[in-house]
Every structure is written in C-alpha cells, then in structure tokens.
C-alpha cells in the first residue's frame, strides 16, 4: 500500500497531521502497539522537521507486510553537517519555534532510536531527504 502526504514549511497548525493519519491506518491494520509507537515517533519527528526547518515537503510511505518504508523529501536549506545535526541538543530552530517547545535538538535522535534504518542525504541550499524504515515482523 502507498500513502502520500504534503507538508507546508512553517505551518505548525498542521504539524503532526500526516503522522496522525498514518497512525490510524496502522491501527486499522492491527499493527502491534509497540511497532506503531516506533513508526509514529520517527514519522512525527521527520514531519515536524520539514515544518520547522524547510519550505515544503512530501512524505511517501510504502507499507508492506513486513516493512514500512518512509521517504521524506523537502525543499529547504539542507543540512550542512549531518553528523552534527544528529547530536542531541544541536538545533538551529528559531526563537519563535523554541518558545513552542520545539528545538531541543532531539528529533533526529528520536528517529534513529526508533527506526531500523535511517538514511539522511542533503544538499545545502536545495533540500533534505530522509529514508526511514521500520520492520513490522519483529517480535515484541
């Protein structure tokens, strides 16, 4: 099954909507709660990063019986130093975004901790792509 969501940069009123919609799909398919949690945490953080840091983006999800593959591509500033961005506490979030409680610099590490695979590619001045996979067959 394929799913697509479109994300607008800067629109915090809709941040998390795609993740929420996809969570409902997973619940309907009776995916184990622990696995849903891992997918949803990773997807939410990646979704919010598009809202917080990029101009616009697209989420494409492929759901297979044993695997969910999520591809998030955005048009935005890109990430100059991905290793640094992965560090807990590193954030370039604006003061306004931080005031809302974003910008702890924990999003990418949340994704890493919950995903079975995370690949980040980025071109500065162009955009960022995240490939995130979570195994569905894993026994809880």
Where on the chain is the footprint of other proteins (CB under 8 A)? 12-13, 15-17, 19-20, 23, 33, 37, 40-41, 44-45, 48, 100-104, 106-107, 109-110, 113
Provide CB contacts within 8 A for 117, sequence distance 6+.
131, 132, 133
| Least distance from other proteins to the Cβ atom of residue 48, Å | 8
Please tell me whether residue 106 binds ligand ATP under the rule CB under 6 A.
yes
Query: Which of ligand ATP, other proteins, Mg ion, none lies near 20, with the C-beta cut-off 5 to 8 A by kind?
Result: other proteins
Query: Which of ligand ATP, other proteins, Mg ion, none lies near 19, with the C-beta cut-off 5 to 8 A by kind?
Result: other proteins
Q: Which residues bind Mg ion (CB under 5 A)?
A: 49, 107
């Amino acid at each position: 099954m394929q799913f697509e969501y479109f994300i607008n940069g800067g629109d915090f009123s809709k941040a998390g909507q795609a993740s929420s919609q996809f969570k409902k799909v997973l619940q309907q398919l009776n995916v184990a709660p622990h696995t849903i949690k891992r997918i949803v945490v990773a997807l939410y953080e990646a979704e919010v990063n598009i809202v917080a840091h990029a101009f616009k983006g697209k989420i494409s999800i492929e759901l297979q019986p044993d695997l969910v593959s999520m591809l998030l591509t955005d048009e935005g500033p890109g990430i100059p130093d991905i290793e640094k961005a992965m560090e807990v506490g590193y954030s370039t979030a604006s003061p306004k975004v931080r005031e809302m409680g974003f910008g702890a610099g924990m999003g990418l590490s949340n994704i890493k901790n919950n995903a079975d695979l995370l690949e980040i590619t980025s071109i500065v001045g162009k955009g960022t792509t995240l490939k995130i996979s979570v195994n569905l067959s894993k026994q809880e």
